[in-house]
């Protein structure tokens, strides 16, 4: 491109150097008619100027093509990079949406497991409270049973003492006993025996079903408590991998967010570079357009010069023909 500019400058200087000579010999300055040598010189100058302009035009066309090629290549490359960035962003957004869906599913599962765990914990607390209540009732019943056993033992001891006393009294001489006393003692002994048996049977009827029911409820409560504890342990074991998966998904989400931010930044930089390249191309296009307009103006001037030279050559030919005709006469 520097060689073409140097050639244009040299041709322009040559034309500027030749223009005063042609202007000095131009018929517009001098009223005398041009000689054949002056016309030939001007014609050669015009031919050289036209050749220089054509060469300059070719150089400008070549320079325009050379300038356009890297610009177009840069534009294509920037466009491809922008398309790749948009495609990569779309893929990352799809992966992000998929991860969001997975996180939503895991959260739903974790919420369900947590809800079941809380329900089991609530049932376990209720059963523990019920078990404590039943244990307190059992202690009360055992205390009552112990007190009743003590009373029964006391009654038995009293009955044994009375029976021994009666037996001793029965073994005393007959003279000291009367038939009435014997009957009274027998009656009292029978009443005491029946009373003891009634109390014993009533106590058994009253407390034995309750004790059996309480023992059964305690056993069932213990089995249910063990089952709930096993289920709670199982739910905890199921929750551990879900928590690990949720943590891993959170890490992946953070990584994808960082990638998206980097891609956005990269896309912004690429768009800025693309706009700068477009601005440079617009400036280059504007400069080339100005050069083309100048070249068109120069071509127009050369065309006008060619027309004027053609007219002058025609006038010269007419004068030469008339001069030859006059000379021949």
Evaluate if residue 40 carries a pLDDT over 80: no
- Closest by Cα among 188, 203, 201, 198 to 158: 188
- pLDDT band of residue 175 (cuts 50, 70, 90) is very low
Evaluate if residue 311 carries a pLDDT over 80: yes
Tokens 């050069």, located at residue: 291
pLDDT tens digits along 83-97: 887 787 788 888 888
Find the Cα–Cα–Cα–Cα dihedral 293, 296, 298, 300, rounded to 10°: -140
pLDDT tens digits along 20-32: 444 344 444 344 5
pLDDT tens digits along 225-256: 788 778 878 877 877 887 788 788 888 888 88
Evaluate if residue 121 carries a pLDDT over 50: yes
Find the Cα–Cα–Cα–Cα dihedral 269, 275, 281, 282, rounded to 10°: -160
pLDDT at 324: 74
Percent of the chain with pLDDT over 70: 83
Evaluate if residue 271 carries a pLDDT over 70: yes
- pLDDT band of residue 4 (cuts 50, 70, 90) is very low
What is the rounded average pLDDT of the residues 113-122? 78
Evaluate if residue 273 carries a pLDDT over 80: yes
Evaluate if residue 280 carries a pLDDT over 80: yes
pLDDT at 23: 39
pLDDT tens digits along 130-173: 778 877 877 877 787 778 778 777 877 777 777 777 667 666 55
pLDDT at 35: 66
3-state SS string for 245-311 = HHHHHHHHHHHHHHHHHHHHHHHHHHHHHHHHHHHHHHHHHHHHHHHHHHHHHHHHHHHHHHHHHHH
pLDDT at 178: 62
pLDDT at 34: 57
What is the rounded average pLDDT of the residues 268-292? 84
Angle between helices 179-328 and 36-171 (to 10 degrees): 180
Cα–Cα distance for residue pair 277/79, rounded to 1 Å: 11
What value does the mean pLDDT of the chain take? Answer: 75
Residue-range domain boundaries for the chain: 2-328
pLDDT at 225: 78
Are 29 and 23 contacting, i.e. CB atoms less than 8 angstroms apart?
yes
């Amino acid at each position: 491109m520097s060689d073409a500019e140097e050639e244009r400058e040299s041709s322009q200087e040559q034309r500027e150097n030749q223009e005063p000579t042609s202007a000095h010999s131009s018929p517009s300055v001098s009223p005398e008619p041009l000689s054949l040598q002056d016309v030939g010189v001007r014609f050669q100058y015009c031919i050289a100027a036209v050749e220089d302009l054509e060469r300059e035009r070719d150089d400008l066309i070549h320079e325009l093509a050379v300038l356009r090629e890297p610009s177009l290549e840069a534009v294509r490359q920037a466009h491809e990079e922008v398309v790749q960035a948009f495609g990569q962003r779309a893929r990352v957004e799809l992966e992000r949406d998929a991860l969001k869906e997975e996180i939503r599913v895991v959260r739903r599962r974790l919420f369900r497991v947590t809800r079941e765990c809380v329900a089991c914990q609530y049932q376990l607390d209720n059963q523990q409270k019920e078990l404590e209540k039943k244990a307190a009732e059992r202690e009360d019943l055992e205390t009552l049973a112990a007190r009743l056993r003590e009373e029964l033992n006391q009654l038995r001891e009293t009955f044994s003492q009375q029976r021994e006393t009666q037996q001793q009294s029965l073994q005393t001489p007959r003279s000291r006993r009367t038939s009435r006393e014997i009957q009274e003692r027998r009656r009292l002994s029978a009443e005491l025996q029946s009373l003891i048996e009634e109390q014993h049977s009533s106590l058994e009827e009253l407390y034995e079903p309750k004790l059996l029911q309480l023992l059964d409820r305690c056993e069932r409560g213990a089995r249910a408590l063990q089952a709930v504890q096993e289920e709670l342990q199982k739910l905890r074991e199921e929750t551990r991998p879900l928590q690990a998966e949720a943590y891993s998904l959170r890490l992946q989400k953070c990584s994808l967010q960082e990638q998206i931010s980097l891609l956005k930044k990269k896309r912004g930089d690429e768009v800025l570079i693309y706009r700068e390249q477009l601005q440079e191309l617009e400036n280059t296009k504007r400069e080339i357009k100005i050069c083309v307009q100048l070249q068109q103006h120069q071509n127009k001037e050369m065309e006008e010069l060619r027309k004027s030279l053609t007219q002058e050559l025609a006038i010269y030919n007419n004068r030469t023909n008339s001069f030859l005709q006059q000379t021949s006469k």
